[in-house]
Structure 1
Amino acid sequence: MLNPWRLRLLSQLDTLGTVRAVAEAASQSASSVSQQLSVLEAETRTQLLERTGRRVRLTPAGQLLARRARAILDHMDTVEAELRSLGAEPAGLVRLGAFQSAIHSLAVPAVTQLARTHPQLEIELLELEPHESIPALRVGDADLIITTPDFVEVALGPDVDVVPLAVDPVVLVVPQEQAGQGPADLAAYAEQPWAFDVPGSYMAGLATRLCRQAGFEPRVVCRFSNYLMTLQHVEAGHSVTLLPALAVDRRYRVATRELTPAVTRTITAALRRGARPRAAVSLVLETVRRLPVPPGLLRS
């Protein structure tokens, strides 16, 4: 009989690529993960792994079982939730992942609304940037994510169902006293100090690329992983920055200008393709879809 825990480890190995990465995600030792995968091979009487030195990769049979495992695990979650909510409203745990600027504008309003209308529903809210949320969805650490496929090296792929939510323009953010009219030409800000996201983030990569396309290397004076800290820095007159419109909190005294040519990102909800989504997951998705579009965004 197939063990769900071992199936999840195999699925994670297919997504994460190494036993060490699976061990970190599962809070287990690498030797324990290897042992569990060996037991799974014995249970299936099939070679699932090829070992070359210290490296391990999935055989064709291993790849097949890993991808089927996702559907099996999703189906088990669905059955458990249906049993718990038999004859009642959708219930159970839904793990909702969202990137930073979508947390306060989309995820929290959805959670707040559902807490009033479906108090038996438990929602675990996870802050996950797009390069983190897509793998988390694939391995089952998130049931539903709010993400963007634009400017992100991790592709959504055919194993994920995508629901467009909104179109979000990328804007130049400057101190209020530097407010201008019309779209901004980045070349005019070549001598300004810049605030960027942390290295490796998709916004840091996008901002660097846009500045270079405008013909200059930005002078980065600070890097923050938190957009509110970035807005504080700009508000104080210490820098300018590039942010998605969704990330610009209106409480800060800053001005925004769209770019020329315009740059946008698509905000989407995504869930795993395969088994029919649990009623609770479908309810959270529908609630997110029906939220009013935040200011500055366009409905997809």
Structure 2
Amino acid sequence: MFELKIVKGDLAEHLRLLALIEEHGTLAAASDVLELSPAAVTQRLARAEELWGVALVERGPRGAHLTPAGQALARHGSRIEREVAEATHAFAAYRQGLVRRLRVGAFQAAALHLLPPAMTALRHRVPDVDLSAIDLQSSDALGLVAGGDLDLAVLASWDVPPAPAPEVDVVTLLEDPMVVVFADDHRLAGSPRPVALADLAEESWVVIRGGTAARHQFDRVTHEAGFDPRIRFETESYDVAQALVGTGYGVALVSRMALRPGTALAHRPLAGTGAHRTIHAATPHGDRATPLAVTFRDLLADVARDLASVPLSHLIVDSRTESAGPAGERRDMQGRLRWADQAVGDSWL
């Protein structure tokens, strides 16, 4: 029984070489396709004939012709050539799919204010983008990016920045200041001035539940203001907190981006504390981030800069009204913040 003492790499090279010789009729033409010198092709052919133990090519004045043994092997080489071409085409299609794919995650307030205008801008730049988005909690964001489940995540932090992760790059998009929310009949509702926390020491409070970064910040700033807050209700949602405040259950600190429209609510800037949450974008480290993810991160940064310049009174204006500012400015605000009045789910963290 014939036993071939040849490694698989050599076998594929030999079969491909024979197929090219049969197709093109000369060693020189085969060497051009393989991008090898004629001497290197001659050496490869000699090695093949040595290992197979038979003559595979006959050389003549009109070129090279395969022997019957060479022809038998060349048929398999032709199939290898087709498989290589199909594999190359399939991989190119796969890579093109990766180039067009963008998987994004964001906590809900960011999904309401930052994602829609950035997604619209991206669709105009890359019409065939394959984009998907999910709601997430900020605590899960870095793990999803590091694990390859997301190409970009938008997350928030309070006081302490996200823990460094070698697999992830994190950039700051904007600072989202905390504001005071109270019922519209509250004694301070008619004042246009920022509110000092000390002026709210005797109030009942609706707060984010304990153990969260937002709650740690609340505890810190009230302690620095010199009082222990009287906590009436704890929740995981800024929306729930504002709904309760609107019914007279107390006052709350809410991030500016999480403000919701409501005729029973009044909002004022917080004086003196500088309390805020920081909004970040996370992508895979370095060149592991796709060009599309980098482009989208830049678009988010543009939206964030615009959002930071919008006055507090305009941020929560119902986008179906036409009451504020010049027509062009109003249309721009509608385009960027048009879903701000639809925040009906949890918008915390």
Bin of the TM-score, shorter chain as denominator length = 0.5 to 0.7
Q: State the Cα distance separating 1:135 from its structure 2 match.
A: 2.5
Matched-pair contact (CA < 8 Å) for 2:208–2:214: yes
- Kindly indicate whether residue 126 of structure 2 is the aligned counterpart of residue 138 of structure 1: no
In structure 2, the gaps of 5 or more residues are 1-90, 313-349
Q: State the Cα distance separating 1:107 from its structure 2 match.
A: 1.6
Q: One-letter code of the match for 2:198?
A: A
- Kindly indicate whether residue 267 of structure 2 is the aligned counterpart of residue 255 of structure 1: yes
For the structure 1 residues 199 and 123, does the alpha-carbon distance in structure 2 shift closer, same or farther, using more than 3 Å as the test?
farther
SS at 1:177 equivalent: coil
Q: State the Cα distance separating 1:116 from its structure 2 match.
A: 5.5
For the structure 1 residues 82 and 146, does the alpha-carbon distance in structure 2 shift closer, same or farther, using more than 3 Å as the test?
same
Q: State the Cα distance separating 1:158 from its structure 2 match.
A: 4.9
The one of 140, 163, 187 aligned to 1:155: 163
Structure 2 residue aligned with 1:242: 253
Structure 1 residue aligned with 2:130: 122
Q: One-letter code of the match for 2:228?
A: E
Q: One-letter code of the match for 1:131?
A: S
Structure 1 residue aligned with 2:298: 286
> In the aligned structure 2, how far is the partner of 1:198 from the partner of 1:112?
35
Report matched runs for 1:1-300 at 5 Å: 83-85=95-97, 90-92=99-101, 94-115=102-123, 118-152=126-160, 154-178=162-186, 179=189, 180-251=191-262, 253-291=265-303, 292-294=306-308, 295-296=310-311
For the structure 1 residues 198 and 141, does the alpha-carbon distance in structure 2 shift closer, same or farther, using more than 3 Å as the test?
farther
TM-superposition CA deviations, 1:181-230 (whole Å, max 9, x none): 43322122122121112333221221122222222222222223222222
Matched-pair contact (CA < 8 Å) for 1:81–1:278: no
SS at 2:217 equivalent: helix
Length, aligned pairs only: 215
Matched-pair contact (CA < 8 Å) for 1:167–1:267: yes
SS at 1:161 equivalent: strand
For the structure 1 residues 200 and 217, does the alpha-carbon distance in structure 2 shift closer, same or farther, using more than 3 Å as the test?
same
Q: State the Cα distance separating 1:287 from its structure 2 match.
A: 2.4
> In the aligned structure 1, how far is the partner of 2:293 from the partner of 2:94?
12
Q: State the Cα distance separating 1:97 from its structure 2 match.
A: 1.9
Matched-pair contact (CA < 8 Å) for 1:134–1:156: no
> In the aligned structure 2, how far is the partner of 1:104 from the partner of 1:225?
18
Q: State the Cα distance separating 1:117 from its structure 2 match.
A: 5.2
TM-score by length of 2: 0.54
SS at 1:132 equivalent: helix
Matched-pair contact (CA < 8 Å) for 2:193–2:268: no
For the structure 1 residues 274 and 115, does the alpha-carbon distance in structure 2 shift closer, same or farther, using more than 3 Å as the test?
closer
User: Which protein shows a greater Rg?
Assistant: 2
For the structure 1 residues 199 and 135, does the alpha-carbon distance in structure 2 shift closer, same or farther, using more than 3 Å as the test?
farther
TM-score by length of 1: 0.62
Structure 2 residue aligned with 1:34: none
Q: State the Cα distance separating 1:245 from its structure 2 match.
A: 1.0
| Greater CA drift, 153-162 or 170-179 | 153-162
Q: One-letter code of the match for 1:244?
A: S
Say what the alpha-carbon RMSD is for the aligned residues. Answer: 2.8
Q: State the Cα distance separating 1:274 from its structure 2 match.
A: 3.3
> In the aligned structure 2, how far is the partner of 1:81 from the partner of 1:285?
25
Q: One-letter code of the match for 1:167?
A: E
Matched-pair contact (CA < 8 Å) for 1:172–1:240: yes
Q: One-letter code of the match for 1:91?
A: R
